[in-house]
Structure 1
Amino acid sequence: MNLLPKATASITSRGIAFQGLYYTCKTAIDEQWFTRARVGVRSKGALAYDPRCIDVVYLIAANGDEEVCHLTPQYRPMLGQSWFEARSYLADIKERTADIKKRTQHSHDKFKLAVEEIVHEAIKQKGNLDT
């Protein structure tokens, strides 16, 4: 365990956040870390991880004890991936999401412009009818 890289994770309402993934462990559940984070009590924790596999990280307590933390359910389809594969996958998802948002905004803008043109034309026609 001493040879594994060390890092810092954030405790959030979604889990123990580390490099774009979320983990959970017995202590976090028993001590309601995620519930406390939901109401604004955020904290950080030291952990160790194996770069070859994202399946688990090891939370390091202040006294040096280690606890295994597992991926939360939404990330279980990624089990068995290396950190390199996971980062690549997450970057791809982020890029796709940004592209979808951009296309959605463009469609919304086109729709809004079309509605404004229809309203403008209706007002213009109403003005012609009133005179």
Structure 2
Amino acid sequence: MSRIGRALLGVALTMAGVAGPAGAARADDVAACGVVYQASRYTGGFTAAITVLNIGTETIRGWTFLFPLDTSATIVDIWNADLLSARSGVVTTHDQGWNAVVQPGGSIHIGFRADGTSAAPTRFTVNDLPCQVVS
């Protein structure tokens, strides 16, 4: 089974309440994705545009995307992803069905508007696999 497949299995097991090591990101995992994060600030808040690139060799079929966000920021609108949680400083999003499949070399475009402030995130994961920040 591919690493993406193992990660998806790990997410499914975790969601079912039977967490196992298959879904956990490890230090020796090679980045499965690249992320470009661009924020624009305005009085009282900011917007962010996120591009997630599939730089791996496997097709992603369904995704969960996580990144940290300062707890002083509150997401008030999000597009191209379903917001599952933004508690404890970690934002968890999921595909919307129509954008669940991402071929190698393909990308996902997510955006959100938030009240408050936050530093640009430096850690991202797709299906519990690490992403590299791309400038």
When the two structures are superposed, what TM-score results if normalisation uses the length of structure 2?
0.25
The structure whose RCO (Cα within 8 Å, separation 6+) is larger is: 2
**Structure (1 or 2) with the greater strand fraction:** 2
